[in-house]
């Protein structure tokens, strides 16, 4: 079945914002998007988020990591089981699962990355082949291991009929940018893609609001809208050495964890406004690296729902900025869809990253494929 030209796959993504699990289906031949299917979301509860937060920055064997993996596996099994039940009732046959897991730590300079959750567990529970551990091969070949959505962004640019360079900007916990030239013959072709992390996005704002107000996010940017940006602090932040590095380059969620200390003397509203301005300024600075000016910027991730952040981007950039919904895409599900598409590429032996996306020496295919019957004994099975 997996050798068929077109494969229905479901991708699942648990992002750095720690809000929950996104899952989305699509039909792909590994090159083109043929059709989009069902999507679903399973939020983490407060207790689950607390377990995941406690494990951030930790590596396999460290305290709290096993508990975090259990949360990730159970949440994914619950969400995906429901989708497979609906598939059996009246949906397309889902032949493959792309499972990213939850990034707890990412250290490409040290040659390592850590995503909690074992794809072998899900393969047993869900009785489907699971593609997972997408980042390790890239890092082993000298790449950053991130970002991984750019090959899917290339397919999206083709799907919307783009004829000139454009940028896909994801504003999750960390911001990442993909410059795409849809005229290139393939995503791994020279000059087709440039991708990199831009800087902090929602993570510092979410952490601020959680710490000070006990809420998971600045809903609708309301807190930031009531505040005043500390411009001097923003300028000092942009002096960080990360912004001098030539891409590709990537970040860990907590690379800029000191930001909360930096805004500790500001009011809640001023701190939120300043962190939003820092996120926007990071993107504006990153756009300077684009090989050619993009015709537009399409935004996905939770940050597109923050009117303050979006207005700051529009003010700082020289091209139109819009949510990806403006071209018929789903900004909540784009990363989940990406891992469905990448899973298809993995089983077809196609590359999932290249020098322009992660800095890896040559195009490389990531991901491990686990099939039912090869593993037993897991938290999700108990």
Would the pLDDT of 299 be above 50? Answer: yes
Spell out the residues 6+ positions from residue 218 whose beta carbon is closer than 8 angstroms to its own: 205, 206, 208, 209, 224, 272, 306
pLDDT tens profile 29-48: 999 999 999 999 999 999 99
Q: For the whole model, what pTM was predicted?
A: 0.92
Would the pLDDT of 54 be above 70? Answer: yes
CA geometry: angle at 155 spanning 149 and 156, to 5°? 85
pLDDT tens profile 240-293: 999 989 998 888 777 887 899 999 999 999 999 999 999 999 999 999 999 999
Give first-to-last CA distance, the chain, whole Å. 30
Residue 108: alpha-carbon gap to chain centroid: 16
Choice between 255 and 162, residue whose per-residue pLDDT is larger = 162
Domains of the chain, residue spans: 7-145+343-381, 161-327
Instruction: Give the number of other CB atoms < 10 A from CB of residue 190.
Output: 9
Would the pLDDT of 71 be above 70? Answer: yes
Question: Which CATH number, 3.90.420.10, 3.30.420.40, 3.10.580.10, 3.50.50.60, labels domain 161-327?
Answer: 3.30.420.40
Residue 365: alpha-carbon gap to chain centroid: 18
Pairing of strands 321-323, 297-300: parallel
The topology under which CATH files domain 7-145+343-381 is Nucleotidyltransferase; domain 5 (3.30.420)
7-145+343-381 shares its CATH topology with 161-327:
yes
Q: What is the pLDDT of residue 4?
A: 58
């Amino acid at each position: 079945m997996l050798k068929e030209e077109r494969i229905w796959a479901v991708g699942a993504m648990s992002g750095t914002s720690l809000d929950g699990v996104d899952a989305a289906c699509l039909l792909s031949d590994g090159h083109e998007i043929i059709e989009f299917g069902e999507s679903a979301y399973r939020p983490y509860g407060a207790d689950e988020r607390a377990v995941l937060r406690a494990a951030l920055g930790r590596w396999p064997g460290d305290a709290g990591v096993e508990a975090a993996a259990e949360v990730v596996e159970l949440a994914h099994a619950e969400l995906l089981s429901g989708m497979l039940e609906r598939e059996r009732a009246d949906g397309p046959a889902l032949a493959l699962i792309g499972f990213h897991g939850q990034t707890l730590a990412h250290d490409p300079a040290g040659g390592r990355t850590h995503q909690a959750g074992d794809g072998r567990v899900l393969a047993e529970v869900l009785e489907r082949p699971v593609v997972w551990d997408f980042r390790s091969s890239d890092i082993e070949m000298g790449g950053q291991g991130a970002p991984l959505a750019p090959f899917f962004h290339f397919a999206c640019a083709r799907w919307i009929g783009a004829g000139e360079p454009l940028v896909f900007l994801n504003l999750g916990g960390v911001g990442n940018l993909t410059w795409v030239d849809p005229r290139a013959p393939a995503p791994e072709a020279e000059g087709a893609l440039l991708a990199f992390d831009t800087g902090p996005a929602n993570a510092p704002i979410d952490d601020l609001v959680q710490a000070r107000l006990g809420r998971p996010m600045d809903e609708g940017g309301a807190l930031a809208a009531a505040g005043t940006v500390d411009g001097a602090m923003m300028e000092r932040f942009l002096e960080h050495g990360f912004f001098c590095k030539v891409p590709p380059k990537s970040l860990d969620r907590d690379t800029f964890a000191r930001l909360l200390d930096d805004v500790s003397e500001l009011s809640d509203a001023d701190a939120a406004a300043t962190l939003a301005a820092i996120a926007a300024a990071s993107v504006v600075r990153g756009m300077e690296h684009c090989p050619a000016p993009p015709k537009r910027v399409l935004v996905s991730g939770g940050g597109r729902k923050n009117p303050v952040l979006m207005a700051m981007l529009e003010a700082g950039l020289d091209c139109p900025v819009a949510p990806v919904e403006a071209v018929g895409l789903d900004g909540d599900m784009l990363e989940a869809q990406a891992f469905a598409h990448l899973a298809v590429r993995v089983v077809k032996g196609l590359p999932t990253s290249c020098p322009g996306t992660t800095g890896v020496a040559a195009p490389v295919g990531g991901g491990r494929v686990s099939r039912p019957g090869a593993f037993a004994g897991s938290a999700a099975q108990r």
